[in-house]
Amino acid sequence: MATISKIEKLSNGVDKRSSLPDNILGEILSLLPIKNATTTSIPAQRWKHLWSLHRHAVFCCPSGVGLPRLCEAVDHVLRHLSPQIETFSIEFSYVTIRNANRLNLCLAYLSRWIPEVCGRNVTRLIISISRNIYNPVYTVSSCVFRAKTFQHLELRGNILLKTCSALERFNLEFNSIAEVLLVDICSSSLRFLQIRKYGTSSSCRINIDAPMMETFDIYDTLVSYQFVNRPTLLNFAKVIFRLPIWDSADDEILVVTKITNFISVISKVKKLELGCDLGLFFGNDFAVINSDIWLTFSNRTELVVNLRYKTPPLPQSVLSKLRMVTVSGVNREEEHQLGWVKDLLNNAPLLKELHVLPL
């Protein structure tokens, strides 16, 4: 983008943009990152205070070294920005419990900033704290739960929230080791939900109350998922389960039994992508539920399968309805994978499209 000096040269010394009304100049500056908006305003007296009309406050501290300066800068910017803020995004990378002072500073400022931006009718809130299994869980201020303007919310790190009625899009990333953890996600307006849970714990329970949800994307160890209300508009689900190491056969039965509600819901979506051990759904590994659960897939017409994971044959009740299948992770040197594809071609009478994606 042209600097002020270049504009003056192109216009014979006359800065024509500065003659525009403040609201239009504010719109122009809002298209720039806030750092550029403030520096662009410095050379021209006419533009000096217009950067405060910026509506997108996006900050990042990639190394953690300049964290105190960043926090002071964010404080300064929020004091001078206009009352209406559309986006507030803050990223604290490499801030861990190993440096307790920095982590406490980060969380203290967050506790002050979040109510501040919620009071300015922010529509996009993105908070990212270094994802570390030893960091304490940070509970988001309760004002988030009462916000009526949120349309996009992303929380990355060990961050939890309970409910936000106006939320339409939610990305959640967190770690879980051995502690029992309960997560409630409740929003009557939620359309998109993405969950990324890392760690080895299977002692986690996630309750989802999002009846309007259309897309569900999950990467997780096999834990207990429960839909409070069935999302009748759900048309796409991507599921990647990493199976934990069971301490005993009883643990296996207990955990797998808990997800029957979850499986019965995702099995009915229009498009389903499975990037996990298919033995969970169609094999004999989990006999406690297989005899009943795979019947819920019998009306599927589209399926996406990754053959890098365990791939038992699909039941005939599923094969008989499939019209489009995408198979990824295919290794032509693996005979059992090629055999799986041949079995699909020979036993899916309604199949019209087959997309094979090699490794």
pLDDT in tens, 249-301: 455 555 556 666 677 777 778 787 776 655 555 544 444 444 455 556 666 78
Q: In the predicted model, what is the mean pLDDT of residues 48-53?
A: 59
- Residue 328 CA to residue 7 CA, distance in Å, equals 52
Q: In the predicted model, what is the mean pLDDT of residues 334-348?
A: 87
Q: Residue 296 has what DSSP assignment?
A: G
Can you read off the two tokens belonging to residue 171?
A: 């990305």
| Half-sphere exposure at residue 229, Cβ-oriented, CA atoms within 13 angstroms | 14
Q: What is the pLDDT of residue 16?
A: 57
Res 202 pLDDT > 90: no
Res 140 pLDDT > 80: no
Q: In the predicted model, what is the mean pLDDT of residues 327-339?
A: 83
Q: What pLDDT digit, counting tens, does each position of 211-226 carry?
A: 999 999 988 766 677 7
Residues in contact with 145: Cβ distance below 8 Å, sequence separation at least 6, in sequence order: 161, 162, 163, 164
Q: What is the pLDDT of residue 144?
A: 76
Locus of tokens 């298209």: 31
How does the average pLDDT of the chain come out, rounded? Answer: 72
pLDDT band for 87, please (50, 70, 90 cuts). Answer: confident
CA neighbor of 140 nearest in space, from 177, 97, 184, 179: 184
pLDDT band for 350, please (50, 70, 90 cuts). Answer: very high
- Residue 333 CA to residue 337 CA, distance in Å, equals 8
Higher-confidence residue of 298 and 87: namely 87
Locus of tokens 């990042």: 60
Q: What is the pLDDT of residue 150?
A: 77
Q: What pLDDT digit, counting tens, does each position of 294-321 carry?
A: 556 666 788 888 777 666 677 777 788 8
Return the ∠ at Cα 194 (arms to 150 and 357), rounded to 5°: 140
pLDDT band for 351, please (50, 70, 90 cuts). Answer: very high
Q: What is the pLDDT of residue 19?
A: 62
Q: What pLDDT digit, counting tens, does each position of 232-251 carry?
A: 888 888 887 766 555 554 55
- Residue 32 CA to residue 39 CA, distance in Å, equals 11
Res 337 pLDDT > 50: yes
Q: What is the pLDDT of residue 319?
A: 84
pTM tops 0.75, yes or no: no
Res 74 pLDDT > 70: yes
- Residue 71 CA to residue 154 CA, distance in Å, equals 20
- Residue 349 CA to residue 14 CA, distance in Å, equals 73
pLDDT band for 4, please (50, 70, 90 cuts). Answer: very low
**Burial category of 358 from C-beta neighbours within 10 Å (exposed 0-12, middle 13-18, buried 19 and up):** exposed
Q: What is the pLDDT of residue 262?
A: 75
Distances 318 to 271, 298, 311 between C-alpha atoms, Å: 14, 5, 14
Res 43 pLDDT > 50: no
To the nearest 10 degrees (0 to 180), the angle between helices 22-30 and 34-41 is 140
Q: In the predicted model, what is the mean pLDDT of residues 85-110?
A: 77
- Residue 96 CA to residue 132 CA, distance in Å, equals 7
